[in-house]
Amino acid sequence: MAERVLVTGGSGFIGYHLARRLVEDGAEVVVLDDFSRGRLDADFQELLEHVRLVRHDLRAPVPADLVTGPFDAVYHLAAVVGVQRTLDRPAHVLSTNVLAVLNLMDWCRANPPGVLFFSSTSEIADGAVRTGLAHLPAPESVPYVAVEPWAPRTAYSLSKITGELLLTQCAADFPVRIGRYHNVYGPRMGDSHVIPQFLRRALAGADPFAVYGPHQTRAFCYVADAVTATVALTGSGAPGALVANIGNDSEEITAEQLALRVLDVVGHHPKLELLGPPAGSPDRRLPDLTALRDLTGYEPRVPLAEGLRLTHEWYAR
């Protein structure tokens, strides 16, 4: 019998790729979304031929008759994300993300799923690394530190650590899996992150080509690898709550090197304009994937060169 799964935020970036993968795996998929950030583009329209769509804003409780169980798995990816959105509307980001968790948690308690996956963030570890309380690669056990608690950018990481805490307390009612995504990229991720921003500017012929924080380093994870890790972590059989980093630890790269790689893929070679880093951005980010490997045997398979090529093809279209 095929699995029945619910994906919140299924019209967004990772949510769309996850829903498509689950359909390919033979699951019966229900997508819950309010389209505040997702999009009804051609890709999602094609997916709609294979999933059931339920429109709902998770800032409000889920009506009892809107989505009926049981579900073998619930994947909660609906959230407001993006540095600029957080800087512009921190209270909105914090309240929306926490309300979504609270309302989904209440629904799951009334309709216990086989397992609940929660999409969290690498930003939870940034404060501990910045203050010297942890070192990279950062494991899941690092303390949560809000270095600038009143800064707008803190709202996003605070919303995610609050979600983790709330859902962990439900682990006696149903298994909980928390995946902390580290710099996931790929087709259909919008324009609010560094790789699509580089691609958009390169495709537009920008010259000079601005690079902020050129010496800051990241390790980017292609979305197909992140989805594979998500499905594997959710399917791991241990009871209770599990937290695991999700990413790619094999190709750390500076922002300047990334810009040159993107420009090579596009075939545009302008002069680089090296500028200071964005306020509050970490100098380095690298996940410790030991827990994920131990639980699932996961290894990232898509090298950065291939992922950039695939992402460029989508944005060029």
**The tokens of 68 are what?**
């009926």
DSSP 8-state symbol, 50: T
Average pLDDT on 57-67 reads 95
pLDDT of amino acid 3: 93
pTM over 0.85: yes
Average pLDDT on 228-244 reads 94
**The tokens of 176 are what?**
């909980």
Asked if residue 187 has a cis previous peptide bond (ω within 30° of 0), the answer is no
- As a whole number of Å, the CA-based R_g of the chain is 19
- Tell whether 96 is covered by a domain: yes
- Tell whether 152 is covered by a domain: yes
- Tell whether 32 is covered by a domain: yes
Residue 155: other Cβ atoms inside 10 A: 23
What does the pLDDT look like over 5-41, one tens digit per residue?
A: 999 999 999 999 999 999 999 999 999 999 887 678 8
pLDDT over 70 (residue 2):
no
- Tell whether 315 is covered by a domain: no
- Tell whether 201 is covered by a domain: no
Residue 69 — φ and ψ, nearest 5°? -85, -170
Between CA 253 and CA 238 the distance in angstroms is 34
pLDDT of amino acid 38: 66
- The answer to whether 130 and 147 have CB atoms below 8 angstroms apart is yes
pLDDT of amino acid 1: 47
pLDDT of amino acid 238: 82
Count how many domains the chain has: 1
On the CB side of 3, CA atoms within 13 Å amount to 22
Average pLDDT on 68-82 reads 93
- Tell whether 310 is covered by a domain: no
- Tell whether 61 is covered by a domain: yes
Closest CA to 74 of 9, 160, 139: 9
- Tell whether 239 is covered by a domain: yes
Three-state DSSP state, 206: coil
pLDDT over 90 (residue 160):
yes
The CATH number of the domain holding residue 294 is 3.40.50.720
Residue 243 — φ and ψ, nearest 5°? -120, 130
Q: Which domain holds residue 19?
A: 4-187+223-249+286-301
Quick one: which H or E segment has residue 253?
Answer: strand 252-254
Tokens 């608690």, residue located: 149
Complete DSSP assignment for 121-158 = ETHHHHHHHHTTSS-SSBPTTPPP--SSTTSTTHHHHH
Residue 240: other Cβ atoms inside 10 A: 10
| CA quadruple 94, 228, 20, 97: dihedral, nearest 10 | -10
